[in-house]
Amino acid sequence: MSELKRPVLPPTDRDGRRQSGLEKLLYLQRALIIGFVLAVYLWSARGTNLSLPELIEGFPHMADFFSRMLPPNLAILKDLVRPTVETVQIALWGTSLAVLLAIPLGLLAARNIAPHPTLYATARFILNALRSISEMVFALIFVTAVGLGPFPGVLALAFHSAGMLGKFYAEAIENIDPGVVEALEATGAHKLQVIAFGVVPQVLPEFIAYNLYRLEHNVRQATVLGLVGAGGIGFELITSMRLFKYPDTAAILMMILATVTLVDYLSSRLRARVI
């Protein structure tokens, strides 16, 4: 009969500092990594003209700028209503179109659902491409393609967000319980029925939460689309600054703050209800 070996915790090293050659090497490796990371940071600081003295010197200028914003020109608030509403409308449509685009892409980009490896790879590639191009770059492209206005803004949000959402969907789908999918396949159900009953109920809470997060993000994003002529309150913002109407700028910032806060609040209330 063989004895079962009991696991034993080795005793502490009472002599303290004694290190094996391997341990010394590991310390050296760690020191090298820390040194390398520090070097990268210092190098990047030079590349970006990071400078504490300059920041301190800049304080009076900033104070001067902020003082010229006061008091905010509240008289223009009523003229800001229309661009503010437009900003939210852009975000709403941008997000919704993104969801529609992202659903098929997300399904194809989920390893456990994708019908074919080629489709899987293609969907992954498209999602990566959409994500790597930011909203502002898309906005510039669409403004050039379809002209100034909120519509290119909607398209810009839709395309970039589709990349983000599709990736999230795919990850959520890859994390579902495969047993349920298998059980449904075993009943003779069609692939689409398996998705409707096995996948959708499992990912629905996450799906809704991601979409609401994205809507919040897109409202913030839509406030700057106007800088490149893609609609929304950003146009008022850049105009007021170009004309040095800083009290107007202050009023616009207040409006943006209020809108974003309200949308975030409503959205988080909704999210809390679905989870």
Partner 1 sequence: MKIGAVIKISGLNKDFPGGVRALRGVSLEVRAGEFLLMLGSSGAGKSTLLRCINGLVAPTSGRVELNGVPVGAGVKNISLREQRKSVGMIFQQFNLVRRLRVLDNVLCGRLYYNPLLSSCFNIFPQRDVQFALSCLERVGLREKAYQRADTLSGGQQQRVGIARALVQQPQVILADEPVASLDPKSARTVMDILREINQQDGITVIASLHDVDLALEYARRVVGVREGAVVVDKAAVKLTPKDIENIYGGAKEQEVYDGTYGRLEYVRA
- Cβ atoms of 158 and 218 within 8 Å: the answer is no
CB burial readout 186-225, b (16+ within 10 A) else e: eeebeeeebbebbbeebbeebbebbbbbbbbbbbebbbbb
Q: Choose the stretch contacting partner 1; rule: CB under 8 A; options: 28-36, 105-113, 181-189, 223-231.
A: 181-189
**48 belongs to the binding site for partner 1 (CB under 8 A):** no
Shortest distance, position 182 Cβ to partner 1, whole Å: 6
Distance CA(257)–CA(117), nearest Å, equals: 46
Closest approach of partner 1 to the CB of residue 260, in Å: 32
Q: Lay out the site mask for partner 1 across 161-180 (x = CB under 8 A, - = otherwise).
A: ----------------x-xx
By beta-carbon proximity to partner 1, the closer residue of 198 and 231 is: 198
Q: Is 149 left (phi over 0), alpha (psi -120 to 50) or beta?
A: left
Cβ nearer to partner 1, comparing 79 with 182: 182
Task: Return the amino acid letter for 8.
Answer: V
Enumerate residues 202-241 that contact partner 1 by CB under 8 A. Answer: 202, 204
Phi and psi at 57, nearest 5°, equal -60, -35
Q: Is 104 in the site for partner 1 (CB under 8 A)?
A: no
Residues in contact with partner 1 by CB under 8 A are 1, 177, 179-180, 182-190, 192-193, 196-198, 201-202, 204
